[in-house]
Chain A
């Protein structure tokens, strides 16, 4: 019987600094982790702890896992001290993937904030890999300053993709910034897709999710079409320990992505 609490080794192939406190780690696990966009893995920094992260790479290329991680606590602090060639542990995949079958033939309106673009990138790559299946992909992304934008080297390429529409904002600009200034909802004054049928996917800090969700509802998006990445404390990742309870859900098992229709009755879902 396999042991669900145990990680397998993964070697750090390379790292890339996205911003001063966000870094992308390219990992090669000993065995392939068969994840789908939206699912997460538990990442162990040996000796320092374990935390859940959603891969940001494409699920069509599973021999490596790219994880874009912000330095916030003990485990991520230690992770930032590791170098290519060092070993970490991974277990998973856990949770439910984005239901891509429900996205087929529709406009997909993706809204990200800060490091929240990381899991959305896995979704974006999965969608653009089979772009014929979807109507059009809108990506709206906001960061605090131009220096806090993740995937800066990739965004210009994404803008050029067919059937893809990208728009960016920063809360505080610098002299070189040519796009919008303001929180990410400033990109949502006009939503160029059919609100009744389109899919919205949101990931970012809780306060950003709260206001983006509110804006989407005002615009007419249906609760069951708004997909929100819910951040909760997780320990086991496998639906047992109950740390991640959110209303009647365990985000590790039922999430981490839940629709607004699922969580609308929960008191303060965005804490």
Chain B
């Protein structure tokens, strides 16, 4: 007993000595351990970003040898183009509408998944597929589902009598339907992530709170909207922020499904930047277009910082 106590005391004293001896060394150790990662990220995120700012105010093209400064000329050119406003509008509409559905669906689905039932593992695997599979490949699957002749949606709608024999909706060929298709694929793609995030929030609510609500006689809806929803609000916001970033800056869905067509009516900022900068070779124009994604990115980053400050980061 006595020896145990002196042993502990000795340990503590030893620990103090060690701590003071290593405090200085530790600071250098941390710097050395962090430096490679920070350097890599700085070089491969910071530098290209600065370069993109410079390109957007220059005359650079894929082939150009001498590059000169043109000020805001590229931005003037972009803002005067009708395609820009259409792309901006499409980007905003696609993001807002898809994220609205994602939020509603994710809450419903997570509520259904939080209770235990047989086969939950399989259901979770099936539900996660769209998030884990490469987006470009998932979009190819949808390209086939939306096919102009062999669309399974049209076949099914015709079989159950929703479509007459002479109605041939061409999903990706009519501007409104094409936009709707892009929204559907974006909902499909983001919903799994949002669901597992909301599900994690739901699972973290202590059972006591649910029991107390039960005892107080709260019904399903009241329980859901007055107790559960406020508790998972911060985490729902996290899901929403990720959804906004991934949808707003996405190029792949539009690239695979419509390539911006018909006649640029489904172009979004990211896809238009690609077609201008990479396929068209106008790097300066492309860089300037893609910078229009930045304000939303910055807004989301600020909200994340705010969230990190107001919730305990472990």
Verify that A and B bind, or say they do not: no
